[in-house]
């Protein structure tokens, strides 16, 4: 499943080695969106961080920022770079991550970001990877590139810090590191350098070791099998050619994701069409506290259902009019209990006609769209934030 969910590398981020970066307890980090207008058709360029919510009992802020400006460069003739940066929160005792607020400095090129926790046992491997790669951070299409990573936070346009109950948080053992994976999109510049970025993150940490419920994020991916429209033609309208193109731009791990998803979700038989879904069994009792969905610019609708088609079916997430610029996490009004044997289904609808309507995609080659890490590719991903136990 780890191999399969390298696919999830398209969402939200972190920062750089704290020993090189900045840290403070000021609830307002210095890094903010730069002044100026965004390029025509940009889906970003308008980010303005709201004030932090007040601290709750036992909590404190820790602010970290990238130590230097980074200028992304898309490899392999593409228009996207995924870059991972290592940060060290310098934890000397057990803590819980109860909230985080990513602050993209150059919102014209930051597509999304993901935070991964690196446990103490994998910290040396992460440091070795960072030190052995020229420049700041390392290229990381897929996941963080570090074995044993755990997804603990994410950001996409429209998201902000989401606070659940104060006793809920992601465990952060002493000696843990974090990897910030940022997806830089250079579609507006044809893959050329689109300016520098020096993003920041505000961590909300609770040092309490009693009464805390450890959270985890479960990922629900589904395939994308979206053919060209009847009015489109070109070499990439062939499915095999489109998959080969994704593989060229992002590597074999990402190129294999669609085949793995089709095997997992539709018995190995791809079925072309705008709507796809995938069912995943619940293997042990758990409680769901929040949900979210992620697609790219061709997304129209996304849902997450519990036990679809049964008398007890529940709709946990329903976004009938998907907006790329509104990808906030949705806390549930009441927690939902899962039991072993339940089923979770994510369903996504994409629309290939948007390729000719959206300024960001006009001029891009028509293609049979499959899972890919680029902004002009697509994803179908449900996020379920839960804790073990009913």
Joined tokens for residue 187: 């579609």
User: Which residue has tokens 């992601």?
Assistant: 170
**Residue 364: how many other CB atoms lie within 10 Å:** 16
* Cβ atoms 249, 77 nearer than 8 A: yes
| Burial category of 93 from C-beta neighbours within 10 Å (exposed 0-12, middle 13-18, buried 19 and up) | exposed
Alpha helices in the chain (DSSP H): 123-131, 239-250, 252-255, 257-266, 354-357
Give the model's pLDDT for residue 375: 82
Residues 104, 108, 109, CA angle at the centre, nearest 5°? 75
**Same CATH fold assignment for domains 4-211 and 216-388:** yes
Q: Are 198 and 68 in contact (CB under 8 A)?
A: yes
Alpha carbon 241 to chain centroid distance? 26
Give the CA radius of gyration of the chain.
20
Could you tell me the CA-to-CA distances from 280 to 2, 11, 208, 270, 315 in Å, in that order?
Answer: 14, 21, 34, 18, 15
Closest CA to 338 of 374, 385, 275: 385
Give the pLDDT score at 311: 95
Q: How far apart are CA 7 and CA 264, in angstroms?
A: 13
43 phi/psi in degrees, rounded to 5:
-95, 5
Q: How many CB atoms lie within 10 A of CB 275?
A: 15
| CA–CA distance, 369 with 379 (Å, rounded to integer) | 9
Q: How far apart are CA 258 and CA 13, in angstroms?
A: 24
Strands laid side by side in the 200-206 sheet: 22-24, 59-65, 200-206, 95-103, 168-172, 213-214
Q: Check residue 198 and give its pLDDT.
A: 86
Contact between 268 and 225 under an 8 Å Cβ cutoff? The reply is: no
pLDDT of res. 187: 77
Of the candidates 294, 112, 280, 260, the residue with the CA atom closest to the CA atom of residue 185: 112
* pLDDT reported for residue 14: 23
Q: At the top level of CATH, which class does the domain 216-388 belong to? A: mainly beta
Task: Extract the tokens encoding 177.
Answer: 């590191």
The pLDDT score that the predictor gives to residue 39 is 30
Per-residue pLDDT of the chain (390 residues; tens, 9 = 90+): 333 444 333 332 222 222 223 333 433 333 322 222 233 334 444 456 678 899 999 999 998 887 788 999 888 888 889 899 998 999 999 999 999 999 888 888 888 888 899 999 999 999 999 999 998 899 898 789 999 899 898 887 877 888 899 999 999 999 999 999 998 988 776 666 678 998 888 999 999 888 999 999 999 999 999 999 999 999 999 999 999 999 999 899 999 999 999 999 999 999 999 999 999 999 999 999 999 999 999 999 999 999 999 999 999 999 999 998 888 889 999 999 999 999 999 999 999 999 999 988 888 999 999 999 888 899 999 999 999 987
CA distance 251 to 126: 21
* 385 neighbors 291 (Cβ within 8 angstroms): yes
The domain spans of the chain are 4-211, 216-388
pLDDT, residue 27, reads 36
Tokens standing for 237? 């309208």
DSSP SS3 for 84: strand
Q: Which pLDDT belongs to residue 43? A: 45
Q: Do residues 282 and 336 lie in contact, with contact meaning Cβ atoms separated by under 8 Å?
A: no
Beta bridge partners of 168: 213
CATH class of 4-211: mainly beta
């Amino acid at each position: 499943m780890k191999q399969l969910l390298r696919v999830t590398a398209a969402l939200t981020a972190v920062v750089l080695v704290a020993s090189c970066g900045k840290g403070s307890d000021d609830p307002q980090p210095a890094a903010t969106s730069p002044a100026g207008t965004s390029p025509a058709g940009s889906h970003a360029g308008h980010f303005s961080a709201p004030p932090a919510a007040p601290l709750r009992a036992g909590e404190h802020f820790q602010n970290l920022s990238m130590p230097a400006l980074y200028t992304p460069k898309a490899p392999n003739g593409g228009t996207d770079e995924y870059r991972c940066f290592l940060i060290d929160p310098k934890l000397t005792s057990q803590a819980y991550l109860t909230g985080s607020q990513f602050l993209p400095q150059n919102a014209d090129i930051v597509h999304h970001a993901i935070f991964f926790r690196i446990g103490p046992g994998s910290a040396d491997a992460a440091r070795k990877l960072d030190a052995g790669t020229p420049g700041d951070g390392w290229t990381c299409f897929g996941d963080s590139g570090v074995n044993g990573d755990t997804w603990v936070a994410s950001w996409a346009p429209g998201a902000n810090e989401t606070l659940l109950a104060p006793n809920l948080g992601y465990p952060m053992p002493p000696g843990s590191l974090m990897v910030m994976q940022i997806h830089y999109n250079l579609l507006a510049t044809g893959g050329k350098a689109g300016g520098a970025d020096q993003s920041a993150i505000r961590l909300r940490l609770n040092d309490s070791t009693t009464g805390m419920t450890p959270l985890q994020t479960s990922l629900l991916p589904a395939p994308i099998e979206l053919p060209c429209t009847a009015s489109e033609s070109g070499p990439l309208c062939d499915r095999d050619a489109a998959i080969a193109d994704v593989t060229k731009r992002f590597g074999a791990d990402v190129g294999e994701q669609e085949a793995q998803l089709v095997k997992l979700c539709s018995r190995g038989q791809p079925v072309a069409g705008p709507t796809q879904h995938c069912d995943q069994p619940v293997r042990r009792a758990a409680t769901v506290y929040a949900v979210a969905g992620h697609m790219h610019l061709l997304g129209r609708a996304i849902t997450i259902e519990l036990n679809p088609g049964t008398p007890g079916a529940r709709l946990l997430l329903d976004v009938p009019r998907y907006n790329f610029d509104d990808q906030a996490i949705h806390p549930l009004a009441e927690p939902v209990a899962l039991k072993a044997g339940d089923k979770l289904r994510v369903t996504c609808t994409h629309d290939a006609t948007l390729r000719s309507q959206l300024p960001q995609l006009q001029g891009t080659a028509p293609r049979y769209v499959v899972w890919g890490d680029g902004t002009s590719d697509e994803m179908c991903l449900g996020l379920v934030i839960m804790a073990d136990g009913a």
